[in-house]
Amino acid sequence: MTQKKLYIPSLLGTNRKDRQSQHVAQWVHSEMEKRDEIDTKLFDVRDFDLPHDNYGQELKDEFPEWRDAIIKADGLVIVTPEYNHGYPGALKSVLDLLLKEYIHKAVAFVGVSAGPWGGTRVIEASVPMVRELGLTVTFTDLNFPKVAAKFDDAGKLLDEAYEKRVQGFLDELIWMSQTLRWGRENLPSKFH
């Protein structure tokens, strides 16, 4: 069966100056680009010039590229480091720019940490937040513990085990995104 390509952007969730998560986001993005089922684009919270005195949907038209990407999207990949077991404030501020645009779309998490748990705690902490956005979370996360040892200085991934892991992560995200797209297109809902 020929399917229209899914549009699944990804979002790098930290603007920290020495962020290791950048290597992760760029590698996951390059793997997404290889999949025939997906069109994608990598967004970076660093590129959002957010005001210091406001939040939320009233700002969304100041970020039309992000707004239009999420309107068009079938799913989203969020790459987030773990900061005190939570998500970076910059990530939350970018996600808060929109609301109804996320409803009945899939989201998959990539967790990044210096410690041994690979961002499992930030992912668990993020689930109630994305649920309020109307996103549906996959159960196949990708985790990068001890991230500094996973890449060389040029950003080359040093652990081949991720080549297989990322395919399982994307397979499930694609299934969820296709299923939810079918639902949005075929089942009535007051939300879209």
Ligand X SMILES: Cc1cc2nc3c(=O)[nH]c(=O)nc-3n(C[C@H](O)[C@H](O)[C@H](O)COP(=O)(O)O)c2cc1C
Interface contacts to ligand X, rule CB under 6 A:
14, 16, 19-21, 81-85, 112-115, 147
Indicate the residue whose CB is closest to ligand X.
115
Q: Between 16 and 192, whose beta carbon lies closer to ligand X?
A: 16
Name the region of 119 (left: φ>0; alpha: ψ -120 to 50; beta: rest).
left
Q: Between 10 and 136, whose beta carbon lies closer to ligand X?
A: 10
CB of 84 to ligand X, least distance (A): 5
The pair of three-digit structure tokens given for residue 110, joined into one six-digit string = 């990539």
- Specify the residue for token string 């900061």: 83
Pairwise CA distance, residues 60 & 11, whole Å: 16
Q: Between 40 and 113, whose beta carbon lies closer to ligand X?
A: 113
Q: Between 29 and 181, whose beta carbon lies closer to ligand X?
A: 29
CB of 41 to ligand X, least distance (A): 20
Q: CB neighbours of 53 closer than 8 A, spacing ≥ 6? A: none
How many whole angstroms from its chain centre is CA 8?
9
The pair of three-digit structure tokens given for residue 81, joined into one six-digit string = 């480091």
CB of 181 to ligand X, least distance (A): 31
The pair of three-digit structure tokens given for residue 84, joined into one six-digit string = 């005190």
CB of 13 to ligand X, least distance (A): 9
